Chain A
Amino acid sequence: SYELTQPPSVSVSPGQTASVTCSGDKLGDKYVHWYQQKPGQSPVLVIYQDNKRPSGIPERFSGSNSGNTATLTISGTQPMDEADYFCQAWDSSTAIFGGGTKLTVL
């Protein structure tokens, strides 16, 4: 079965750039979506179709997808960005989520 692999944790200093990766076989051939989840809250879509931002999502969030890796990039990371981030794609009519990455801003 298809798998998406994310690093369990990423740390970044405030104001710096954070990169969260998501790896899967030929992932660049699929659309990847990214969700942010803060403790006790529901997931929020932050990037869809590899690099599109929903309305209301700050411009500091961006995405890319090529080869076997998709990347969520947060430029000028703020303390409020501390959260779990999940990538998601579809394979054979099955939605696949990555295991999630805990982003710590310190």
Chain B
Amino acid sequence: EVHLVESGGGLVKRGDSLRLSCAASGFTFSSFSMNWVRQAPGKGLEWVSTISASTGTYIYYADSLRGRFTISRDNSKNSLYLQMNSLSAEDTAVYFCARGPEGSGLSVFDYWGQGALVTVSS
């Protein structure tokens, strides 16, 4: 069974940095692209970033976040990461880890974690 568990969320101050982790199990992690999607309180889903399978050669970011957020993966630990810098109140959201397709394609998010809440205070 596919299982994704996010961690690292919490309350931070404006301008702070935070690193989210996503522990994966139940599938061959290295074979699948992985994603971060966020949801501000009471709002819709917003895609954050995608990293391709294996060595993560292909990385994509939402235009509004490029330069502040960095996605990475460690296949030896079956883990996905999101480094978030210069946080602002607009980054307050639940951050979901979601599995993508095998390889480097851009397609569906077929499994989602339970989410990690990040709250940025001003």
Contact = CB atoms under 8 A, between A and B. Distances in A.
Contact of B96 (A31, A33, A43, A49): A43
Contact of B45 (A35, A44, A49, A90): A35
Given A35-B109, A45-B108, A97 B114 contact: no
Interface in B103-122: 106-115
Band of interface residues on B: 20 to 34
A100 B50 CA distance: 21
Interface of B: 35, 37, 44-47, 50, 60, 62-63, 96, 98, 106-115
A98 B96 contact: no
Chain A binding surface SS class: strand
B44 A95 contact: no
A88 B110 CA distance: 12
B92 to A, nearest CB: 17
